[in-house]
Amino acid sequence: MTNQAHSLKFADVGQDVIIWPLAKIVSPEGISIGDSVIIDDFVFIMGGSKTVIGSFVHIASFTSIIGGGEFTIEDFAGLSGGVRIYTGNEDYLGGSLTNPAVPHPYRIPIRSFVHIKKHAIIGANTVILPGVTIGEGAAIGANSLVTKDCKPWTIYVDSPSRPLRPRPQDRILELEAQLHRELYDKKGNYIPKSQREDDYAD
Ligand SMILES: CC(C)(COP(=O)(O)OP(=O)(O)OC[C@H]1O[C@@H](n2cnc3c(N)ncnc32)[C@H](O)[C@@H]1OP(=O)(O)O)[C@@H](O)C(=O)NCCC(=O)NCCS
């Protein structure tokens, strides 16, 4: 297996990062990646103006992150298969021509952002439009369309997305604290798999 974590020139890349060979990453120089991250085959990421991927993040096959704006996904968050994230948009409302085959000034693309906070999980085939923040611990059901911010620790479903019910946070935060005690040293540095006790190595 050729792990692209070691061949692409990222702005920053941590330890225990696996980027499968058939993932396509454009403009890696604008992308920072934390520790213990997995990016599956057939993921497509366009670096955009800035991309920050935290630690313990998984991005599943057939997910794309495009649009030229800023993308942030914090620690312990994940994108299921087929998620489409747009950090920028064309003018759908009639103010200009649209699509990248049309030159400026006839086309006025809007560059924006998407921010996914810690412990959020995005269900399969969900579409997230530009300018959205997914709150800490929010869970978005499969096939949702997210056009507005999602509140922390809330489960959302549907198109457009609506809150379904709260998502309990206590157990998740307890497990995060336990993981930190075991996988980080006293200075707060991540301990890579190769340096851990056998119990924790794969
Ligand atoms: C959102 C989700 C977590 C809710 O799970 P749940 O609590 O077991 O859901 P339920 O089956 O009890 O459904 C509760 C209600 O929400 C609706 N609902 C559930 N998921 C929905 C979805 N993705 N979109 C629209 N409505 C949904 C159900 O139809 C039901 O509505 P009703 O009360 O009118 O009958 C789950 O349905 C889901 O979408 N999970 C994502 C799975 C995924 O993408 N996995 C990929 C690999 S990680």
Dihedral, CA atoms, 136, 179, 20, 7, nearest 10 degrees?
Answer: 100
How far, in Å, CA of 26 to CA of 24, rounded? 7
pTM: 0.96
Give the residue whose CA is nearest to atom 28 of ligand 1.
Answer: 157
Residue list, ligand 1 pocket, CB within 6 Å: 80, 123-124, 139, 141-143, 155, 157-158, 164
**Which residues are paired to 73 by β-bridges?**
53, 116
Question: How many domains are there within the chain?
Answer: 1
CATH number at residue 57: 2.160.10.10
Dihedral, CA atoms, 157, 69, 46, 83, nearest 10 degrees?
Answer: 0
Range of the domain at 34: 4-200
How far, in Å, CA of 84 to CA of 42, rounded? 13
How far, in Å, CA of 57 to CA of 166, rounded? 22
pLDDT tens digits for range 95-108 = 999 999 999 999 99
Closest CA to 34 of 140, 192, 169: 192
Exposed/middle/buried for residue 160 (C-beta within 10 Å: 0-12, 13-18, 19+): exposed
Q: How far is the CA of 122 from the centre of ligand 1 (A)?
A: 12
pLDDT, position 25:
98
Quickly tell me which residue has 């996988």 as its tokens: 183
pLDDT tens digits for range 106-163 = 999 999 999 999 999 999 999 999 999 999 999 999 999 999 999 999 999 999 999 9
Q: Do you know the residue count of the chain?
A: 202
